[in-house]
Amino acid sequence: MRLLEFQAKRIFSEHGIPVPKNVLLESSTDLENLLYPVMLKAQVPVGGRGKAGAIKPVTDANEAAAVLDELLNTRIRGNPVRVVLAEEKVEVQKELYLALLIDKLARLPVIMASDAGGIDIEQVARERPAQIVKKYIDPSVGLSNYTVHYLAKRIGVEGHLRDFANLAHSLFDIFRSYDGALVEINPLAVIANGLLALDAKIVLDDKAAYRHGDLFGRLKAEQTRSRKDGRSRTEQLAEGKGITYVSLNGNVGMISDGAGTGMLTLDLIQDAGGRAANFCELGGFGGKESMQQALEVVLANPRVKVLLISLIGGLTRMDEVADGIVAYLKRHEVFVPLVVRMCGTQEEAGRARLQTVGIEALDDLPTAICTTVDTVKGS
């Protein structure tokens, strides 16, 4: 789950990380008692908001009312703006970058810092990789003072070492306590009297939701209220069922058992001349119930002309997801063709069960892709 900025900053404040004074705005009536100048920041779950025109400085109440009305009636990279964060404007001496994330190849947390904050870290990595400092963290030890001091020296904040150390340890505490996939400050501002998190990004691991039920529930409820009616019916249905679903603009529906398989399948659909209608994956642990829920979500999109189910059984058992497909087809009329690619754990049992409803599963992904794209073109 990717948090909105105001949610991330609230968590930062609760853990002692300094952030600018701010207030959440939903209409012009919320502008009373603001102290100017302020920054108005659209609350949408995307990066690069500054370049997209979603962050604007204002100097007085009249300008604030006009800019707020403009932001609340626009979309930022397809996301409707429903709430805006008004934040005090501060004098910045230097902009830094600091983040914690999981390195999936190393299977370890890594802390990253740079003296080139305020821009996309991917751009820094491409153009000036030496400006990014990385240190892996032993989970049994945690974030050491040595690592913090090393980072402070490399990015030039030795003059604020105590503030930086407190901030870095608090950031790691958030990352560990909330099962973070990413906790990022960009930019981390050096100001006259210390350090300040000008922006905040937190991505939580959805698979850890069972450990933080109340927190996840509150955060999702806030996001639902802030989005109001900006989502499609399919996206609302997916969220209600806990399905990983991203709406796209094509007509080929897609369900995969994991994110890696799903991304590969999307690329191959594109290469074959098709256009995907969505990205939908079961998280690598798909079973009968999750497959039925995914089918309900994806087939609720009226643009879908053919559905490709791309499965490779590692942790996922093919007989269990086949049971989900069969159960769904027995209870619902499906008016689009289904193409199933299936291989891996218990695939023979899975194929046999699909044959009971007239589906011959393929074991070759390129063949399945070509069959899917040819079917949609024929329709």
Query: Active-site residue among 184, 235, 281, 320?
Result: 184
Q: Mapping DSSP to helix (H, G, I), strand (E, B) and coil, where does residue 19 land?
A: coil
Query: Active-site residue among 87, 97, 245, 328?
Result: 97
C-beta of residue 85 within 8 angstroms of C-beta of residue 155: no
Quickly tell me which residue has 């009226």 as its tokens.
302
In terms of Cα–Cα distance, which of 154, 151, 156 is closest to 111?
A: 151
3-state helix, strand, coil in the chain (%, to 5): 40, 25, 35
Rounded distance between C-alpha atoms, residue 190 and residue 192, angstroms: 7
296 is catalytic: no
Strand pairing report for 38-42 and 84-88: antiparallel
Whole-number Cα distances in Å, 293 to 53, 71, 96, 240, 245: 37, 35, 43, 10, 11
C-beta of residue 335 within 8 angstroms of C-beta of residue 253: no
Q: DSSP letter for 54, please.
A: -
97 is catalytic: yes
Please list the residues that pair with 88 across neighbouring strands.
Answer: 38
Catalogue the active-site residues: 97, 184
